Structure 1
Amino acid sequence: MANIVWHTKLRIYLDLTRDDLGHPEFPGLWETVYRTDRLYAARGVPMAERDLQCGGVCQEAGVEAWMHLRLRAGRREAVHEKAEDEQRHTLPMSDEHKAYQERILRVAEEGGFKGASEVRTRVGRSWIQTDTLVEGADGRRIGWEVQLSSAGVHGPRSVRARAAKAEKNGITPAWHTDRADYARRNDTHWTRSNNLPAYVIAKTGDLRVVSGFRVLDFWRCDVRALYPCPNGVRRCGRFHATPKVRDILFDDLVRQSAAGTVVPVLFRVGGTTHRFWVTHADHDRLEDLRGDDTQLPPAREPEDAFRASRNRPTCRPVPLATWAPQPGRQLPTAGMPIQPAAPASETALAQSPAGTQASFRPALHQSGLPEELISLQQTADEAHAQLQRLNDHEERSHQRRVWREAAVAVQTAVTQYAMTKRLNRYEVEELLRRTVRHPRTPPGAAL
C-alpha cells in the first residue's frame, strides 16, 4: 500500500492522508476518483488501464506500479497490483546489498572509472533508477542491479522490461545475484556468486562469479566433432560455436565490462535465447562466424579474463562478529552526471582507433545526420562486404582487421555525436544504419 498516488490522466498526485487529497481546488475529488475506480473494477477493466500508479517509492525507483483504491474500516488505501511492488515499500536494503554497491564502486575507482549508487536517469515522463552505475571507456555505461536472497521467492517480474528500458537508453544492464534460480533465467544477463555475508563481500578478496560468464569453443561439424550438430542433423559440415561455463573474478568482471574487454552476448539455441558475458575476442569471433559459417574465424590471443589470484578466496570466510562499513566511507549518491555537458565547440571528433581524424561540418545528409557519419558507416559496410568475398586465410585476416578498425571508428563517432547533440545513442545508431543500408525506407518505418 502507498499514501501517494499518481493519476496518469489528471496528471496530479493524490495524497490519501489528506481529506482533500492535497487539492482543495477540486471539491469531491476523492469521491470522483474512487467511484471511477470501482466502476472500472465492476466492468473488469485491467488495473493498468485505471489511470492510477504508485507515486512514491515505486516511481522514484523508475517502476510503473499500477494500483487500485479501497476503503477499509473507513480508511482510504491504495493497493499495488503486484506483490513485488508492495515489498519495495517494506523491505529495506540489506547489508549484503550495500556491501556489493560499495565493492563495485571501489573496484571501478581502482580501475580508473567513475561510479555512483542509486542513480536516477530521466526517460521521457518516467525514470530509470540504477543500483550502481559505472561510467566506462568510450561512453560505455554499465548499470549494476543486485538481487539477493531477500528479493523474494519468485524474484522480480519486471526484470526484462527494466533491462530493455535501460539498454535502449544507453545503459548496459548487469544483474548480479546469489540465487541459482535467478541465474537460470534468460530475461537479462545474470551473473551469480555464492551466498556470502556482508563483511565477506565488502572485504578485499577473491569474490568469484560462478555463473553467467562463458568461453566459446569453435568447431567444425564433421565426424571428428565432440558436440552434436545444433541444427539437428547428423553432420552438416559447417562451423559452430559452443559456450562453456568458466569462472571469473567479480572484480575483473566489473573492471573489464567497463573497459569493454568483457561484453554481453545473445546466444540462441533452438527456441531459447541465452544471455551471458564473454570476452570481446570471443564476441568478435562469434560475429565473424554468424557472418560466414563456411570459414572458421582465427583464434585470438588469450586474454586475462579469468585468472588465478593469490588473494584469500571469499568462498571460505573467517567468521567475524558483525560487519560494519569502513569508518568515514559513505556510498556516493546520485550526484554523478549522467553525461558530460556539451562542449563550447561541437565540431571536433575524438581520434578514432582507425587512425583517422574526423570532424562534424555543417553539411548534413537528408536524414539529418552529418555526412561524416554516413561516410564512416558506408566504409565499414564496404569493408565487411569485401571480407565476405575473400577465401584466402591471410587476406581474410587482413580484411577483418580493416573492417574492425572501420567499425570502431563508426562507434566512436556515433558516441561523440550523440553526446555532443544530447541525443539517444541507440536511436542515432539505428537511424544511421537504416539510412545507409535501407536508403529507400521512410523514417520510422519497420525494417
Structure 2
Amino acid sequence: MGVEAPMHLRMRGGRREAVHERREDEERHSVPMSDEHKAYQERILRAAHEGGFGGDSEVRTRVGRTWIQTDTLIEGADGRRIGWEVQLSTIDESGLRGVRARAGKAAKNGITPAWHTDRLAYAQRNDTHWTRSDRLPAHLIARNGDLRIVSGFRALDFWHCDTSALYPCPDGVRRCGKAHATAKPRDVFFDDMVRQTAAGTIVPIQFRAGKTTHRYWVTSADRDRLDDLDSDDTRLPPERETTSATGASRNRPTCQPTTAPSTEQDPPTPDVPLTARPLLTALPLQPAAPAAETVPSDRETVPPALEQRKTPTIPQATNTTTGLPTDLIMLQQAADAAHHKLQQLDDHHERDLQRQAWRQAAEIVQAAVTRYARTKRLNRHEVETRLRQLVRHTAG
C-alpha cells in the first residue's frame, strides 16, 4: 500500500509476529484510500502551488521515538505548516477519540491541524478545527470549479451590549453595557482556504460561547480584534483593514449532479416538429465551457438527449438593439408559437401531439440559453428572463 511505518516483533503462541507500532498504520493496509480522499489531496496541493506554497502528501514527521502521519502538509509563509487531514469515511467513537490526540500532537510540533470532512456529525465536534463541504464524487472534487466550505469558517460581529443591540447578552443579563463578539457562519472557497491558511490571513481560534468552547477559522483581522476584546471588554475593539476571505467568482460552484457523467457517444439530434426545424438548423454551436468551470446546477443541466454533435463554430448574428443572438430570439419565438397553438386546440389527441412539440421546442431554447450563458460567462437566469421579456413584449 506504499506505507512505510515502524514495526516490531512479538511472540504470540510460540510464533513471532511482525506488527505495527501504531494502530493507524495498520489500518492503512486494510482500509484503502478512497478516490474522493485522493482528489482532496490533489486539490489541496494544486491550490497551494497556485498560491506559491509547497507541500506533499502522506508526510511522516518524527516526534521523539514516534511519528506524525499527515495526509497533506503545506509549507506556508514565515515557517507556517498546515497539516490537512481529510476524513470522509465513517469511523467509530474509538477512532474519533483519537482526533484530539493527533491534533494536539501535531500542534505541539509546529503543525497547525486542519481537518476536513463531508460528514455533518464530524463538523459539529469541537475536538479540533473542522471544516466541511458537501458530499461530492471524486471527479467533481478534482475539478477547478468553486468548491465551497459550508461549515467551519466564521465572521466575527462585534457589538455593544446596550438597548439598541440586535443580539441577546451572552452573560444572561438584560444589558451589561460591555462589548461582545458573535460568530456568524460564512462560506469560503476551499482553494482560498488552503492558500490563506498557508499565508496566515485565515487562522484558527477558540471561541467561547456560554460554557462551550468552539473551534473556528476566522480572518487574522477578526482574531486580532477578538484579542483586543478579551483584553478589555468595556469598549469595542478598533476596526482593522482586512481582505474578505470570500468573494465573487466567475466560475460556477461545484455541485453534485443528479445523474452520473455519461461516457457514451453523443446521441443523435432529437426529432423536431417541422415548424421548428428551419430555426434549429440556424442555431450555431457554442464552444465548450472553459476548463475552469464545472457542471452546471440542477436547474441548468442540459438533458443528454439535447446535446448536439461537435461541429465547427458558426459566426452568430447578434441583435444590435438587445444584444442577444438573433437565433436565440427565433428559437424563443418558435417555442412561444408552439405553446400558443396548443392553447387553440380542443381535440385531446391533437393536444397531446402539440404538447410534445411545444416541450421539445422549449427544451431546445433552454439548451441554447444555457450554452450561450456559459460561453459568455453570464447569469443564465438573467439571460432567460431578458429573452422572454423581449420576445413576448414584442409579440404583444
Contact 1:135 1:142 in 2 (8 A): yes
| 2:121 equivalent to 1:181 | yes
* CA spacing shift, 1:320–1:224, aligned 2, 3 Å: same
Aligned residue for 1:44?
none
TM-score (norm 2): 0.61
Q: Write the distance in 2 (CA, Å) between the matches of 1:264 and 1:312.
A: 28
SS at match of 2:194: helix
Letter in 1 for 2:38: K
Q: Write the distance in 2 (CA, Å) between the matches of 1:88 and 1:17.
A: 26
Fraction of identical pairs, as percent = 67
Q: Write the distance in 2 (CA, Å) between the matches of 1:17 and 1:136.
A: 50
Aligned residue for 2:66?
126
| 2:261 equivalent to 1:320 | yes
Contact 1:218 1:239 in 2 (8 A): yes
Contact 2:137 2:256 in 1 (8 A): no
Aligned residue for 1:247?
187
Contact 1:6 1:13 in 2 (8 A): no
Contact 2:81 2:198 in 1 (8 A): yes
Contact 2:140 2:256 in 1 (8 A): no
Q: Write the distance in 2 (CA, Å) between the matches of 1:134 and 1:20.
A: 40
SS at match of 1:187: coil
Shift of the alpha carbon at 1:21?
A: 4.8
Q: Write the distance in 2 (CA, Å) between the matches of 1:142 and 1:276.
A: 15
| 2:50 equivalent to 1:110 | yes
Shift of the alpha carbon at 1:20?
A: 4.5
Shift of the alpha carbon at 1:270?
A: 2.0
Q: Write the distance in 2 (CA, Å) between the matches of 1:201 and 1:321.
A: 17
Letter in 2 for 1:58: R
Q: Write the distance in 1 (CA, Å) between the matches of 2:252 and 2:14.
A: 56
1:214-243 Cα offsets, whole Å, 9 max, x none, are 000000011111111111111110000000
1:171-198 Cα offsets, whole Å, 9 max, x none, are 0000000010000000000000000000
Q: Write the distance in 1 (CA, Å) between the matches of 2:164 and 2:117.
A: 39
Shift of the alpha carbon at 1:157?
A: 2.3
Q: Write the distance in 1 (CA, Å) between the matches of 2:36 and 2:14.
A: 37
Which of the two has greater helix per residue? 2
* CA spacing shift, 1:171–1:183, aligned 2, 3 Å: same
Q: Write the distance in 2 (CA, Å) between the matches of 1:282 and 1:230.
A: 19
* Correspondent of 2:20 among 32, 55, 62: 55
Aligned residue for 2:9?
13
Q: Point out the more displaced range, 266-275 or 165-174.
A: 266-275
Q: Write the distance in 1 (CA, Å) between the matches of 2:142 and 2:11.
A: 40
* CA spacing shift, 1:21–1:158, aligned 2, 3 Å: closer
Contact 1:57 1:89 in 2 (8 A): no
* Correspondent of 2:200 among 248, 251, 260: 260
Paired residues in the alignment total 257
Q: Write the distance in 2 (CA, Å) between the matches of 1:106 and 1:6.
A: 30
Aligned residue for 1:151?
90
* CA spacing shift, 1:121–1:17, aligned 2, 3 Å: farther
Letter in 2 for 1:207: L
Contact 1:57 1:88 in 2 (8 A): no
* CA spacing shift, 1:140–1:20, aligned 2, 3 Å: closer
Letter in 1 for 2:141: I
Aligned residue for 1:310?
250
Q: Point out the more displaced range, 224-233 or 207-216.
A: 224-233
Shift of the alpha carbon at 1:271?
A: 1.9
Contact 1:223 1:235 in 2 (8 A): yes
**Unpaired runs of at least 5, structure 1:** 23-53, 62-84, 323-447
Q: Write the distance in 2 (CA, Å) between the matches of 1:208 and 1:117.
A: 22
Aligned residue for 1:39?
none
Q: Write the distance in 1 (CA, Å) between the matches of 2:243 and 2:13.
A: 59
Q: Write the distance in 2 (CA, Å) between the matches of 1:15 and 1:267.
A: 49
Letter in 2 for 1:170: G
* CA spacing shift, 1:139–1:18, aligned 2, 3 Å: farther
Contact 2:9 2:16 in 1 (8 A): no
SS at match of 2:113: strand
Structure (1 or 2) with the larger CA radius of gyration: 2
- Mapping 1:66-81, distance limit 5 Å: none
Q: Write the distance in 2 (CA, Å) between the matches of 1:250 and 1:244.
A: 18
| 2:239 equivalent to 1:299 | yes
